[in-house]
Structure 1
Amino acid sequence: MIPELGQFALALALLTAVAQGVVPILGAARGNVVWMRSAQTTSVLQAVLLIFAFGALMRSYMISDFTVLNVVQNSHSLKPMIYKIAGTWGNHEGSLLLWVLILALFGAGVALFGANIPLALRARTLSVQAWISIGFLSFMIFTSNPFERIFPAPPDGRDLNPLLQDIGLAIHPPLLYVGYVGFSIVFSFAVAALIEGRVDPAWARWVRPWTLAAWVSLTGGIALGSWWAYYELGWGGWWFWDPVENVSFMPWLLGTALLHSAIVTEKRDTFKSWTILLAILTFSLSLLGTFIVRSGLLTSVHAFAVDPERGLYILGLLGISIGGSLALYAWRAPALEGGGLFAPVSREAGLLINNLLLATATATVLFGTLYPLFLEAVTGEKISVGPPFFNASFIPITLPLIIAMAVGPFLSWKRADLPGVLSRLKWVFALVVLASLVIWYVQTGGPVLAVLSMGIALWLLLATVQEWGRRIKPFAPGAMRRLRTQPRSSHGMTVAHIGLAILMMGAIGSSAWKQEAVVFAEPGTEVRLAGFHLTFEGVERVRGPNYLAQVGTLTVREDNDGQIGEFVTTLQPERRVYPIAGSSTTESAIRQTLAGDLYVSMTEPAAAGASGKWTVRVLYEPLVNFLWIGSVMLVIGGLLSLSDRRLRVGAPKRARVPLAATPAE
């Protein structure tokens, strides 16, 4: 009965979305206040209905209701409860339901907390948001029903993909979806502004908190997915430029550009049409990622659907939403420009360079991701575009961006004194050169690009600290007062920029100076690597709640120039077999320190002729934990900015005037 109620709630949510998509926008066109205000009621009602539907599906997973086909295909009675719950969104139908739920929650958020937004703009925004919901709700109801029944019910389920039975993957998709879908409300604001034909600093102020919320969540989701890949997949990497990784990274890049562009629109009333375009393109890339993952174009742990009909449906939604919004932009954007002028050397110019480099980096990733798919569709030829292409094309674009990031906060609006700014940074530059020479010496001469990149990361770190010190003057009287009175958004910028510098250090260290050894191991096998001496002690069998594991044991001691030193730790990598799912996973063992990780994974026994031996991979990953520290600082910086009172309050409400005097409203 509960699944049927969930399905009924979906149908009601679709009808509510239709009403929300039609009535408020007509009310805005006719100046009908009652019709415009209906958007608030329908937005909240749609969210409530989808919360009920999602709760109904989650309940089916929690009680192992195997009369529901979705539960049968993605759950099992022996699974731990946390993974039963995660199974709700660990599949095509359930993740789609989570998608539309988040979509509705963002709309309800604007309805409940957007009282200071002009009524007509809010009505149009919520109507556009409703049309996005209509597309995905109809797609789900007609092609991807999560509540489909199966009779007779099987005695048990087929289990969730074992790779997804991990706490990191339990949290990763919801964070990613909040990021993806969060940009939908920014898209809706942009389309509503185009319909009205008006973009001003107040509009940018209303848009910024929603952009920040989506960006923070997407940052956390990407970082969590990278962390999961590092410790779970057993290959010791954290990013592979996989197409599905790329489709989450591209909205993040453009979303970062959008954040900075909206600042210029708010502060200087310029970049208006560019900010609108970024809002449209950022959400368009989120939709493109949805299409790639669900169309059957890719086979991946991330890919849910392989039904071409579903892919065509999403392709249609993609064409209507992106094509329609860009056509509207082409029609209305020329009338939006204006605002303050600025010199070639100014903060506006610095943020423009930031935006152009981020957009170029996004285009590079987009080309490398889609070109193999287009080539295969046209010629049938399959090629792989992997890390060598992306590293060679993406890194040269981002290094100048990082250099500019360090200088940007020192520049003033409208016109800046570049020689004066560089003069203030001369000691930072000297320290960076000295540190780079030390790194060059310690790492015996290279690689050159890694040393240069590490120097640029230090440049950003030290320049950001100096800029913060210039504002706070920590050693002068009144430092605490200045610290408290600074806007939280400025503190957020400082923390985020430092976080990016630290993240860069982790990426450079773990990529350029990684050490690796792969051996066929049997009891007594020894490995020496990066100052450690490892001894393989053997393997024992262990039974888990829904898997069988073979657990290896390696004793780690210090290696002092060939002499075995003191005991360090014991590492126990695992190889797990899930009988119900008929698959296996690798569970790595990691000794984590700030200096670097000692990483061990164990794979299938070696081929015949090496009986009793296991393939053991040992890696030393310098500075890899700086990646996660930097990612956390990016999230904290975003949250600090989001808590800024100016963003929570927004622009002041406009004075009430008689309705007859404001026909446009």
Structure 2
Amino acid sequence: MIAELGQFALILAFAVALAQSVLTFIGLRTADPAIHGFARAGSIAQFVLMLTAFACLTVLFAVSDFSALVVAENSHTDKPFLYKLTGVWGNHEGSMLLWGLILTAYTAALALSAKPVEARLVSLTFAVQSLVTAAFTAFLLFTSNPFARLWPSPLNGQDLNPLLQDPGLASHPPMLYAGYVGFSITFSFAVAALIEGRVDARWARIVRPWALAAWSFLTVGIALGAAWAYYELGWGGWWAWDPVENASLMPWLAGTAFIHSLRVMEKRDTLKAWTILLALMTFSLSLAGTFLVRSGVLTSVHAFAVDPERGVFILGILIAVIGGSLALYGLRASHLKPTGVFSEVSRESTLLINNLFIGAACALVFFGTFYPLFITTVSDETITVGAPFFNATFNPMMGVLFILVPVSGMLAWKRGKLKPVLRKLMPALVAALAAGVLALWIADRTQIAGALGTALAVWVGIGVLTDIAQRLKLGDIPLKASLSRAINLPLGIWGMAVAHFGLAITVFAITGVSAWKQETSAFLMPGQSLQIAGYTVELDDVRRFDGANYVAEEGRFAISRGQRDLGELVAERRFYPVRQMSTTESAIRTRGTGDLYISFGEPSRERGWPVHVYIYPFAMWLWIGSAILTLGGVLSIADRGRRALTARKAVDSAGTVREASA
């Protein structure tokens, strides 16, 4: 009965989304004022129905109802309850239902927050958004039904992929989807603006908080996925330029360019055509990533679908969304004329260059990801585009972009002066050069890339601090006055500074982990040890025990450095009988200067257990930098909220004055 209720809710959600979209377009064409209220109510109804369907699927997993096909294929009675719940989206059907739920959640959030003054634009946005919702609910109903029954039902299920039975990967998909799907709102706003024929600074102000929210969620989702790969896969690989990883990086890059372009449009009412194009392409890249992961063209822990029919359906959605939006853009682009002008040396110019570099980097990742798939499709040849290609092309492009970051933040709008900015940034340049030379001298003189990465990180970090110091007039006015300026500084500026500083920390960590990692391995028996970077890692004991739905070997390692005893680390090797799969639970000693990382594998009777030990310098700063980067986005969103509240108070105050005068 629960499955049938969920199925019914899903059918109603499809019907409401389709009806709302069609009727809203008709109502706006006939100028019926009632259509605005209908559009808002329909948006909330879609969310309630999708939430009902998702709740029904969650109940099916929670009670282990194996008469539901998706539960039988992805759950087991012995599985911990947490992973019974997260198993809801640990499969193709459930993950796409989660996608649909988040899609309608964004639409409902817009319905609850939209202002009446923008009723027509918002109603058009609802109509476009509902078309996307209808397409994805149709995909669920016709090719990926999460409520399909299995008769006769088995006594037990096939368990969830062991790699997905982890807190990190349990939280990774919802955050990633919140980012992917969040760009649907900005896409719908862009299409609505093209239909309406009105793209201006006010449109940018409305759209930018949604873009920042989606970008922030996507940043968190990518960081969680990288962290999971780091500690779960057994070799510390947090990024490998895998096509699935690239599928999330492409919309993140396009989204980064988009929020910068929105800032220019909001401030100077220019770059209109480019901003709209970025809005369309960012969500299109999110859909392309969905096609890549969910179509079955890849074999991956993330790629659940193997049915070609599903891939064709998603491809159809992709063609309709990209083709339809670009056709509309082609018809309307000539009307997107900018009103703001700016000189070659200005913040607008540097942000435009920023956009071009990010766009080129995104195109590079797209080519490196899809070209091998294209070659495999049209011929029998199989090629691989991996880390060497991206490291040789993408990284230098990003390096040039990072040089511009501090300069851009300090240049004036419309017309800036480069020499005073460079003079103010001279301490940052000196610090960057010193850091690069020091890194080359201390760490590894053969790692030029490590020295360059360190120099760039310091350049961006010190440059951001210099910018803030200039805004607060530190040293030029009394400290109390500087603190007052800090309090009154718009949160948007703090958001920019925090995000850029987080970027500097992330670049520094990436440099340390990539350029200066060390590794060694050996077969060890209990009592034997190995040496790495001054550490002694001794295998004390190996114990076997039974987990909830797995059996494990637990390796206990005594860690010392010189005469100092640094305690014990415990690594595991787990075997899941139902799935006949093994996983690695690494042991990690985390410090600010770096991680000591240990994993061990299947033993050899004669030689012992294979033990792999790695040193990853500054690894923890990857996650700290990502968190600071996200905080910058959150602060920028909060700035919009504070401005709206201030404006509302001003309106209320003016109304009170008028009433008193009357």
Query: TM bucket by the smaller chain?
Result: over 0.9
Q: Is the 8 A contact 1:526 1:533 kept in 2?
A: yes
In structure 1, the partner of 2:574 is 576
Alignment correspondent of 2:171: 171
Q: Which amino acid aligns with 1:580?
A: V
Letter in 2 for 1:529: I
User: What amino acid is the match of 1:289?
Assistant: G
Kept after mapping to 2: 8 A contact 1:6/1:53: yes
Structure 2 CA distance for partners of 1:460 and 1:212, relative to 1, 3 Å:
same
CA contact 2:209–2:640 (8 Å) conserved in 1: no
Deviation at 1:530, TM superposition (A): 1.0
Cα distance, 1:506 vs. partner? 0.6
Paired residue type of 1:572: V
Aligned twin of 1:434: 434
Contact 1:116-1:651 within 8 A present in 2 as well: no
* Aligned-pair Cα RMSD in Å: 1.5
Is the aligned partner of 1:625 residue 2:628? no
Matching of residue 53 in structure 1 with residue 48 in structure 2? no
Deviant stretches of 4+, over 4 Å: 650-653
Equivalent residue for 1:586, pick from 584, 587, 605 = 584
Equivalent residue for 1:517? 520
2:281 partner letter? L
Give the structure-1-normalised TM-score. 0.95
**1:335-391, CA deviations, whole angstroms, 9 ceiling, x for partnerless residues?**
112211111110000100110010011001000000110010111211111110111
Structure 1: tracts of 5 or more residues without a match: 560-564, 656-665
SS of corresponding position for 2:520: strand
Q: Deviations over 1:20-54 (max 9, x none)?
A: 11111222222111123311010000100111110
Deviation (angstroms), 1:651: 12
Question: Is the Cα contact below 8 Å between 2:439 and 2:450 reproduced in 1?
Answer: no
Say if 1:647 and 1:361 are closer, same or farther in 2 by CA, change over 3 A. Answer: farther
CA distance in 2, matches of 1:90, 1:386: 27
Greater relative contact order (CA < 8 Å, ≥ 6 in sequence): 1
Q: Aligned partners of 1:424, 1:441: CA distance in 2, in Å?
A: 28
Q: 3-state SS of the aligned residue for 1:555?
A: strand
Tell me the percent identity.
50
Counterparts of 1:590 and 1:289, CA distance in 2: 32
User: Closer, same or farther in 2 for the Cα pair 1:650/1:38, shift >3 Å?
Assistant: farther
Q: 469-478 or 109-118: which moved more?
A: 469-478
Matched AA of 1:4:
E
Number of residue pairs aligned between Structure 1 and Structure 2: 646
What does residue 106 of structure 2 align with? Answer: 106
- The one-letter amino acid paired with 1:166 is D
> Could you tell me which of 628, 635, 638 is aligned with 1:640?
635
Aligned to 2:9: 9
Residues 559-582 of structure 1, C-alpha deviations (whole Å, 9 max, x = no match): 3xxxxx121121211100011121
Pairing 1:217-228 to 2, within 5 Å after superposition:
217-228=217-228
Asked whether 1:555 is paired with 2:558, we answer yes
Contact 1:23-1:36 within 8 A present in 2 as well: no
Code of the residue aligned with 1:536 in structure 2: it is L
Indicate the residue corresponding to 1:605 in structure 2.
Answer: 603
Query: Superposed, which structure 2 residues align to 1:201-600 within 5 Å?
Result: 201-474=201-474, 476=478, 477-559=480-562, 565-600=563-598
Deviation (angstroms), 1:650: 9.2
Residues 206 and 651 in structure 1, CA contact (< 8 A), matched pair in contact too:
no
Superposed displacement of residue 538, structure 1: 3.3
SS in structure 2 opposite 1:8? helix
Distance 2:144 2:95 in 1: 11
Greater CA deviation, 14-23 or 516-525? Answer: 516-525
Cα-to-partner distance string for 1:531-576 (whole Å, 9 max, x where unaligned)? 10111223210111111001112111113xxxxx121121211100
8 Å CA contact 1:94–1:146 kept in 2: the answer is: yes
Quote the Cα distance in structure 2 between the aligned partners of 1:251 and 1:194: 21
Q: CA separation in 1, counterparts of 2:554 and 2:361?
A: 43
2:612 maps to 1:614: no
Deviation at 1:80, TM superposition (A): 1.2
Local SS of the residue matching 1:644: helix
Who is 2:659 aligned against? none
Say if 1:54 and 1:98, in contact at 8 Å, map to a contact too. Answer: yes
Is the Cα contact below 8 Å between 1:74 and 1:91 reproduced in 2? yes
Separation of aligned partners in 2, 1:652 and 1:287: 37
Asked if the contact 2:183–2:211 (Cα under 8 Å) also holds between the matched residues in 1, the reply is yes
Higher mean C-alpha displacement, 423-432 vs 90-99: 423-432
SS at match of 2:76: coil
Moved more, 204-213 or 113-122: 113-122
The verdict on how the C-alpha distance between 1:30 and 1:432 changes in structure 2, with shifts beyond 3 A counting, is same
State the distance in 1 between where 2:44 and 2:452 align. Answer: 52
8 Å Cα contact 2:376/2:382 also seen in 1: yes
Give the aligned partner of residue 660 of structure 1.
Answer: none
SS of equivalent residue, structure 2 residue 150: coil
How far apart, in 2, do the equivalents of 1:156 and 1:449 lie? 53
Q: Secondary structure, in 3 states, of the residue corresponding to 1:227? A: helix
